[in-house]
Structure 1
């Protein structure tokens, strides 16, 4: 029997932290990294990168070597799905075998072509496929203990749930940014929507609601009653399908191309079987779209899927997409389908009918969407880059003309990133497109006119018939440069004039009666051409006495005294943040 091999691992960002780890597949090695390296214990496995030093680094000099080093200059990144045991042979002793790091702490180098970013997304997408195919069935994985472990791993579902001991951001961008049909469904299902619902449809929904209020002997009996009624309501056949690995969701609505438009999981009662129907349904979406037989269609699209979770007389509708990660968003709470009381039940029935009528139309629109997909490439089933980006590809310029663009790369490593480097199709001009709930448009224009911010090209609704729940699109000029965070992360010398220029910018801003609120490294840009300082993020900026912080403030940032969630942003808060930056110069 061959002797076990061990690798000497060092945390790149904490060189004094090291451990000998058993050589194994990347997944198991990341588990060991979290267990043995205290500095990475709370980092999600999905954010841990493994690098091979080239040439090998003597352990006795590792701290000195890493102090001013850039990881890409001294090591080669190992793919997420690699078998580390076969990729790296342990050294004879005294040398570092692997460097590990929290990828969120490593600022990315600007990549004009976006090739590195797209390659990373494809790598993560392929890892998700591999992990999902090898996982336990959704009915098992959805149970609390199993799901808790899954959410701690390399491919969590981005549904807001996380392992309690290792909190991580598992909330993704709004799914309606990736598929327009979701935005329309959200609008149509609102209580005040103008959707015209036929009376006969409302009556059919009332029958369905009465049926699910019953208490059934077992799940087959429940399903046998529910499925025909739901089939009539949605106007589509509902089938029990089997994946090639023999896993099977309770119900699915298929397109003419025999791919799912909607997927459902039933429970006779809410929580029966030890799991939540919505969690099991979300996992079933991942399991379905990562099957080998669905690879070619999944390579063309973000796999938008409506999810129906039914637990006795409780129903929820969700939406899911698969980018480089699976993002699941709740469109409704679990709605009570039983009678509220004997006298005042009509409004309740009509609202449930509104949601289901909107879902009926949404599923029909999904069929049209699948019909419009381009043919799969005959020679390759590798994912197309466009599938990883939002569907929004145009805005209305100041001249009233439509400006079309393509996505190049996300501008942040964070999975919640909604800011992108883009390029116009007509003239290949680089721009930045971002999606926000609120934006200090007036503040941005003020600084943009003085060269203290990129030129603002557009700020307004997404160019669509849907409201997108108030999400705005912001388009600005692309600035070739690097953020203050990049300089700090790379341990690069900062220009002496940085502090003075920031102070001047705040003087202009405060003098006009505005506040900024988020004066941190990621939002401060030094241009390549002139090293001029510009502010690039105005999500919180606004008029002093009116602008407020968001509900939640990151606990990883030392905010100014007096700042708090939903509190007013004060000019002295900006000055405090400036003073903190000056201390680092």
Structure 2
């Protein structure tokens, strides 16, 4: 009922704002007409004054006639002065009306945005049901056609595995999906000493996988040997080998570890082993499918509803091994934590191949322990669905086995899948949407208010207080440059920053709300002409005072608002990911070729202050060259007047998503409205890190 009431309010508000915009537009036209009439009168007065000047030049003009002409001239000049004053007042009235019109258009945009969000929320519920229907009807991983499932235009990719493209099947990176993944990624990237047990197991694994398996039992032999080696190293009291009850009939990976051997409630590791790289199919895709099949039998469990179902996937392909992270976010998502590592017995001649494998095994063991500890810390979970069979006592074993056999033998039916999916949708957890764990799991933030602004950049309320902030997650950030520019009042205040596991950084900063603050790229042409100089002066001031370079000083990263003085503008620069000292900080790998970068901007080249100035000028020039002019002119009494359009109504705290070679395209949501309360499981097939196609053009 509350949603319906809110939707009714939205419809009424939209209609009211539209009517008010229409009234203001009419008032603007009326004022413009008055200004034109005044200018015509001024022109008429000027013409009369010109005539008087001619008369006054006559040599035989009498004294009385001259006095009358001078008196008339004085009266006309007073009339002209009065008309000029009236014209100035009318211009100010027009300016106020146009400002009000812009504010109304911004309000209209925000109302439409909320309306769109509510429509999207309804669509995500439907998408969630559709995805779960699809999951519940899937065949065994070995029989699943990857091309068909990944290129499904209606339902989207079955697995977010970045195939065929990041835009089509990209997802959340492991270090942001789960704390444990970030900790494992950090261990993999560190140069800390590796324990002797890991080195010994890695050496034996190299010897096992370097063998040449060329008969029909090759895979069975390889699986037996690898499991026998890794079982004592990776398992423990809380991490055990799953022997039965993984999923349905004929659905079981080569190896799996979970919380218990029979009918496990949780999954920690999937292992798949092949004698060689050759053959059809994608082992990575199959591994994610096993994760999907495990959890589709447990969709009513608290673990499925309350966690992201994190697990590791270990694939051995001939003399190679790779470790990946897999989780169920909006859909099953898998991403490699390591490349394919060579398993060749080159030690002790060289340790170059051995040590990366040893480090991977040591990190995996730590990760498995952490997943098991997190599982043990959760409340007691009870089986509350037909598919999830509770651990039976001796007297119940026969009935349990019969039920499991019957369940495995029965093929899922469409109507059962629909009913199951709808039930899961109703019982899904109540998170607003799937967030990076540093926001979702930090009590500092009210996660239900969080909204994605740009790639890895979120608006969120602080818990318990009436204050909003922006949280940016990145692998590098010019904190020093941002802080120095903020001290000058030229950047949002930094509230805190912290290093995260896996090489990421969290930067929390002041929120600059719309429509008060707008990107330079969101101004009308008339406003832009006035604000542009203020931005240029602010940039020059920052350069002189700090010797820092922004690195991406394009209009979307320059926020402005009207100052207190007439015609003045305040400026704040945002998005300091590349920023740093001039000549020391360097440009990153990916630079969008659609952006008119100045000469000298290349990967690894040092940032220069002149690049900031040139980039700002070039992007503004590009806008003027491509924008359709919307000015009408009238030459009257030596003046040219231009009428301006409503201006672009867009507000982003940052627009970094347009600058990289594969720029992420995320929906920008204004601060004035809360996102509709939708469970993250209900977001269905909509990826909350959806990205744009490579080579996306510069957008204004």
- Normalization by structure 1: what TM-score? 0.66
Match in the other structure for 2:151: 149
Which is bigger in relative contact order (C-alpha 8 A, separation at least 6)? 2
Q: 1:410, CA displacement in angstroms?
A: 3.4
Superposed, 1:69-80 pairs within 5 Å as none
Match in the other structure for 2:551: 517
Equivalents in 1 of 2:456, 2:476: separation in Å?
13
Match in the other structure for 2:176: 177
Match in the other structure for 2:435: 389
In structure 2, the CA distance between the partners of 1:358 and 1:545, relative to structure 1 (3 Å rule), is closer
Superposed, 1:126-525 pairs within 5 Å as 128-135=131-138, 137-141=140-144, 145-146=147-148, 149=151, 154-155=156-157, 157-163=159-165, 168=167, 170-190=169-189, 192-198=191-197, 202-216=199-213, 217=215, 218=217, 219-235=219-235, 236-239=240-243, 242-244=246-248, 247-256=251-260, 258-272=265-279, 274-291=280-297, 293=299, 296-340=302-346, 343-344=348-349, 348-349=353-354, 351-373=356-378, 381-385=427-431, 388-393=434-439, 404-407=444-447, 408-412=449-453, 417-462=455-500, 466=501, 468-469=502-503, 471-481=504-514, 488=522, 497-512=530-545, 513-525=547-559
Which digits, 9 at most, give the CA deviation of each residue in 1:203-224, with x for residues without a partner? 4444443333333323233323
- Where 1:385 maps in the other structure, the secondary structure is coil
Equivalents in 1 of 2:125, 2:319: separation in Å?
40
In structure 2, the CA distance between the partners of 1:518 and 1:229, relative to structure 1 (3 Å rule), is same
In structure 2, the CA distance between the partners of 1:394 and 1:321, relative to structure 1 (3 Å rule), is closer
Kept in 1: contact 2:549–2:580 (CA 8 A): yes
In structure 2, the CA distance between the partners of 1:406 and 1:534, relative to structure 1 (3 Å rule), is same
Equivalents in 1 of 2:363, 2:451: separation in Å?
32
**Bigger helix share:** 2
In structure 2, the CA distance between the partners of 1:503 and 1:326, relative to structure 1 (3 Å rule), is farther
Kept in 2: contact 1:295–1:381 (CA 8 A): no
Q: 1:520, CA displacement in angstroms?
A: 3.4
Which structure has the greater CA radius of gyration?
Answer: 2
Match in the other structure for 1:23: none
**Bigger strand share:** 1
Kept in 1: contact 2:453–2:459 (CA 8 A): no
- Where 2:486 maps in the other structure, the secondary structure is helix
Equivalents in 1 of 2:440, 2:298: separation in Å?
34
Indicate the RMSD between aligned Cα atoms, in angstroms.
Answer: 4.1
Kept in 1: contact 2:590–2:603 (CA 8 A): yes
- Where 2:572 maps in the other structure, the secondary structure is strand
In structure 2, the CA distance between the partners of 1:223 and 1:561, relative to structure 1 (3 Å rule), is same
Which digits, 9 at most, give the CA deviation of each residue in 1:290-317, with x for residues without a partner? 5564664222112211111111232111
Match in the other structure for 1:74: none
Q: 1:245, CA displacement in angstroms?
A: 7.8
Equivalents in 1 of 2:190, 2:328: separation in Å?
29
Which digits, 9 at most, give the CA deviation of each residue in 1:526-565, with x for residues without a partner? 4599884422211112222223221011244343454333
Q: 1:350, CA displacement in angstroms?
A: 5.2
Equivalents in 1 of 2:577, 2:290: separation in Å?
36
- Where 2:224 maps in the other structure, the secondary structure is helix
- Where 2:453 maps in the other structure, the secondary structure is coil
- Where 2:167 maps in the other structure, the secondary structure is coil
Q: 1:279, CA displacement in angstroms?
A: 3.2
Equivalents in 1 of 2:598, 2:355: separation in Å?
49
- Normalization by structure 2: what TM-score? 0.56
Equivalents in 2 of 1:567, 1:346: separation in Å?
34
Kept in 1: contact 2:341–2:353 (CA 8 A): no
Kept in 2: contact 1:158–1:327 (CA 8 A): yes
In structure 2, the CA distance between the partners of 1:110 and 1:254, relative to structure 1 (3 Å rule), is same
Which digits, 9 at most, give the CA deviation of each residue in 1:207-256, with x for residues without a partner? 44333333332323332333233222212314465434864333221125
- Runs (5+) with no aligned partner, structure 2: 1-10, 12-108, 385-422, 628-646, 648-700
Kept in 2: contact 1:151–1:162 (CA 8 A): no
- Give the total of aligned pairs: 457
Which digits, 9 at most, give the CA deviation of each residue in 1:466-496, with x for residues without a partner? 4x22x221110112115756975x9998565
Kept in 2: contact 1:560–1:577 (CA 8 A): yes
- Where 1:183 maps in the other structure, the secondary structure is helix
Equivalents in 2 of 1:310, 1:354: separation in Å?
16
Equivalents in 1 of 2:244, 2:524: separation in Å?
57
Equivalents in 1 of 2:233, 2:300: separation in Å?
28
Which digits, 9 at most, give the CA deviation of each residue in 1:254-302, with x for residues without a partner? 1255221111222222233x13322321343344445564664222112
Kept in 2: contact 1:242–1:248 (CA 8 A): yes
Kept in 2: contact 1:271–1:277 (CA 8 A): no
Q: 1:179, CA displacement in angstroms?
A: 1.6
Match in the other structure for 1:22: none
In structure 2, the CA distance between the partners of 1:327 and 1:424, relative to structure 1 (3 Å rule), is same
In structure 2, the CA distance between the partners of 1:546 and 1:206, relative to structure 1 (3 Å rule), is closer
Equivalents in 1 of 2:535, 2:363: separation in Å?
50
Equivalents in 1 of 2:119, 2:145: separation in Å?
34
- Where 1:320 maps in the other structure, the secondary structure is strand
Kept in 2: contact 1:261–1:367 (CA 8 A): yes
